[in-house]
Amino acid sequence: MKETWEQPGSPHPSLDGSTRLLSLVDRSGPPPRPVGGLLHDWYLASGTSLPFAEWADPATDQLAGAFARGADLVEVEQAVVAFAEARAGAEHPAEAVAADLVALVRLAWPTGGHAWSDWVDPVGLLARALGAWATERAGEPHGGSDCIDPVTGLIGAHYLRVRLHELHGQCRALAISPPATFAAVVVTLELSAVAAPERIGVRVAAGRILADRFQAGETVAALSPDRLVVVMPAYGIDRAVSDVSADLAELAALDGVGLHIGRRAFADHAGGTFISLAGTSASS
């Protein structure tokens, strides 16, 4: 891999915070390290007007490194999520985050002798980034029964509506199809044959299991006492349904508990998606 060097005195984003601060006030600090070739080329390919030191934060460096090494999909997804969250925290618009990610994929696709097409799904990575960006920008919902389900602690219907509008809006801005980009796992509980205290316990357990399973930018919500949903990138929906089925198997085996796990594609508009997710049945 080729190496380039930052100009003397220019702060490099992968240096620790104290060194960068010293550099900004013209005080001494350790010399910058070599900049990896892919990171530098990605910066040029992105077409950004930002200076390199502002654009290439540590999360960007980490993502470039994952691509340069041909890391496995899990590591790449984690790096994509960290990248999108960092950019959201720095108030970069989603369109710029998506453009940077597309530039990286196009640049890295033919390199390194790796069969990128075997594990890199550009639309899937873009969906993962948009989801993480929207979650970070929205922050934690605050108070009120319209935002938080009091039994499971998951977000409720009101907050999910906001979330869906954000995701659909980003799809429109990027001219990509919502049905091809996002989907949802739908868990329907049938608890009429279960006593009230046990019914609450099943709901709490199901919500906790889903929250523990999905921690990479997905949105887990409780739409009603009998319906939980997980909004996520469409490319991973088959694996997610399988994982959820295994995770909830013990609950499904309890006496009187009925449980159905299905999936929903996004509709073309946020309102249609919400109606689909909040419907009375889940289709497999």
Distance CA 53, CA 43 (A): 10
Question: At 160, is the secondary structure helix, strand, or coil?
Answer: helix
* Contact in structure between 56 and 13 (CB atoms under 8 Å): yes
Distance CA 284, CA 282 (A): 7
Question: At 60, is the secondary structure helix, strand, or coil?
Answer: helix
Write the DSSP string, 6-53: PPTT---TTS-HHHHHHHHTT---PPPPPEEHHHHHHHHHHT--S-HH
pTM of the model: 0.57
pLDDT in tens, the chain (284 residues): 333 333 333 433 433 444 444 444 444 443 344 445 888 889 888 888 888 877 888 889 889 988 888 788 888 888 998 898 888 877 788 778 888 888 888 887 654 444 455 556 777 788 888 888 877 776 544 444 457 777 788 888 888 888 898 888 888 878 888 998 999 999 998 888 877 767 788 888 899 899 988 888 789 999 888 899 999 998 889 999 999 999 988 888 888 888 899 999 999 888 889 988 987 444 43
Q: Which residues pair with 138 in a beta bridge?
A: none
Name residue 149's amino acid: D
Domains of the chain: 3-138 (no CATH), 157-277 (3.30.70.270)
Residue 161 makes CB contacts below 8 A (sequence gap 6+) with 270, 274
